[in-house]
Amino acid sequence: MPLVYERFFALRPDARALFGNDALGRGRMFNETLTMILECTREVGYLEGIVEREVGDHRAYGATLSMYESYFEAVVQAMQAALGESWTPSHEESWRRQLEHLLSIVAGADDR
């Protein structure tokens, strides 16, 4: 979890200021992100609704669509760093495909 945010804030220093200093919110966010990625792979019917609510809540935090893009990039980079040599091109392709799908749902819910 710290790896993800380290990478995210390196990519987007402007996003750092939106977060508090308590790690609990960040932990909840990463857990929910992992759950959503799993739900992407299972093509559950309710994912769009959950994402829509989350994107709505995140508008108040100041999250923008391009921040989601950077956050998802940080997730892939952190996974790659954590797995080291165990990370394969197949992992890379799968994670990127699911996160691209998730980003398209976020973009659809982000009607600003």
Write out the residues near ligand HEM by the rule CB under 6 A.
Answer: 15, 18-20, 22, 25-26, 28-29, 32-33, 36, 54, 58, 61, 63, 67-68, 71
When the beta carbons of 47 and 80 are compared against ligand HEM, the nearer one is 47
| Smallest gap from residue 83 Cβ to ligand HEM (A) | 21
When the beta carbons of 52 and 91 are compared against ligand HEM, the nearer one is 52
Tokens at 111, concatenated: 């009607």
Query: Residues 61-97, buried b or exposed e (16+ Cβ, 10 A)?
Result: eebbeebbbbbbbbbbbbebeeeeeeeeeeeeeebee
| Smallest gap from residue 96 Cβ to ligand HEM (A) | 15
| C-alpha–C-alpha distance, residues 55 and 24, integer Å | 19
| C-alpha–C-alpha distance, residues 69 and 8, integer Å | 10
Taking residue 36's Cβ as centre, other Cβ atoms within 10 Å add up to 20
When the beta carbons of 88 and 107 are compared against ligand HEM, the nearer one is 107
| Smallest gap from residue 84 Cβ to ligand HEM (A) | 25
When the beta carbons of 56 and 88 are compared against ligand HEM, the nearer one is 56
